């Protein structure tokens, strides 16, 4: 996937970036990740670089051009969610590593435990997260359908989970402070079509005779629907000027033979008076 992402984004010619400051593409972080202890399923990429990776997989070049007219999808850092056991391994490794060092954080407003500081990537870092904004329980962190990076054990957070987290960021974190300009609003705008295309792909590949496959898709819809009732989610979506309705492949679900999924859709999203008619 790294090669596919790099190829798609390298074809973009616009030199402007999403915000000022040092910027790196996701593949530039991979050599640092390869130095971490290999632990399958324990390293999950989230945050802006996850949006960038997911955009390369689930958006067409036309969609990318429309949404990123100002330049490439890049970020100043990379965010990881990892297990406590792996955190200890990384701390031990950092004491012996020549490739990176650690910086600890005492600011409890952010769910960052420490940052990996790569020696060969000036003015950037990899933030190691204790938790994800807007995701309150382990059950809410739906990684089962996350994407491998070229068969490596590093995963990308599920698009629906990331949508919820980015809406929370938009609502609770200052987006344009004198010291930092965040890209959460642009990321949330990207995630609406990403989630739509992701869910649509699941629907297209779902066996109409399989109740379990339909319920797997319902889990993602349920997580979004539950989040949509929360004030911060609503505030974040409003700030980004996006609609949850646009993230749901309603027409595709209605045209499918997935009866269980159709019934759930009609009872929840389409039964909501705030949702526009199709």
pLDDT confidence of 19, banded at 50, 70, 90?
very low
Torsions phi, psi for 71 (to 5 deg) = 150, -175
Query: Which DSSP category does 119 fall into?
Result: T
- Cβ atoms of 82 and 28 within 8 Å: the answer is no
Residue 263 has a pLDDT of: 93
* Higher local confidence (pLDDT), 5 or 62: 62
Residue 278 has a pLDDT of: 37
Residue 5 has a pLDDT of: 47
Torsions phi, psi for 120 (to 5 deg) = -100, 15
Q: What is the mean pLDDT of residues 228-255?
A: 94
Distance CA 270, CA 236 (A): 21
> How far is residue 105 CA from its own chain's centroid?
23
- Cβ atoms of 165 and 141 within 8 Å: the answer is no
Q: What is the mean pLDDT of residues 212-235?
A: 93
For the cut 50, the answer to whether the pLDDT of residue 88 exceeds it is yes
Q: CB 214: neighbour CB atoms within 10 A?
A: 23
Closest by CA to 191, choosing from 180, 179, 183, is 183
Distances (CA, A) of 201 to 85, 127, 204, 206, 253: 34, 31, 5, 9, 11
Q: What is the model's pTM?
A: 0.85
pLDDT confidence of 258, banded at 50, 70, 90?
very high
Residue 1 has a pLDDT of: 47
* Higher local confidence (pLDDT), 156 or 144: 156
Q: CB 174: neighbour CB atoms within 10 A?
A: 10
Residue 139 has a pLDDT of: 55
Residue 181 has a pLDDT of: 75
């Amino acid at each position: 996937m790294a090669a596919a992402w790099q190829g798609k984004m390298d074809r973009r010619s616009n030199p402007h970036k999403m915000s000022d400051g040092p910027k790196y593409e996701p593949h530039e972080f991979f050599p640092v990740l390869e130095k971490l202890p290999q632990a399958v399923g324990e390293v999950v990429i989230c945050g802006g670089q996850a949006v960038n990776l997911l955009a390369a997989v689930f958006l067409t070049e036309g969609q990318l051009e429309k949404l990123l007219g100002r330049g490439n999808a890049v970020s100043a850092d990379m965010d990881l969610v990892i297990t406590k056991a792996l955190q200890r391994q990384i701390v031990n490794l950092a004491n012996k590593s020549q490739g990176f060092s650690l910086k600890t954080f005492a600011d409890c407003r952010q769910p960052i435990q420490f940052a990996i500081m790569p020696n060969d990537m000036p003015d950037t870092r990899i933030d190691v997260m204790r938790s994800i904004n807007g995701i309150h329980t382990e059950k809410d962190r739906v990684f089962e359908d996350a994407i491998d990076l070229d068969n490596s054990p590093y995963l990308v957070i599920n698009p629906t989970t990331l949508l919820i987290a980015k809406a929370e960021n938009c609502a609770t974190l200052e987006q344009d402070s004198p010291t930092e300009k965040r890209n959460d609003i642009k990321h949330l705008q990207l995630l609406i079509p990403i989630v739509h295309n992701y869910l649509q792909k699941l629907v297209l590949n779902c066996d109409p005779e399989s109740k379990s496959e339909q319920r797997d898709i319902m889990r993602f819809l349920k997580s979004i629907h539950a989040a949509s009732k929360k004030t911060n989610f609503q505030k974040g979506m409003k700030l980004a000027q996006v609609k949850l309705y646009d993230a749901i492949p309603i027409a595709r679900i209605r045209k499918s033979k997935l009866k269980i999924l159709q019934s759930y859709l009609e009872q929840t999203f389409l039964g909501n008076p705030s949702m526009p008619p199709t």
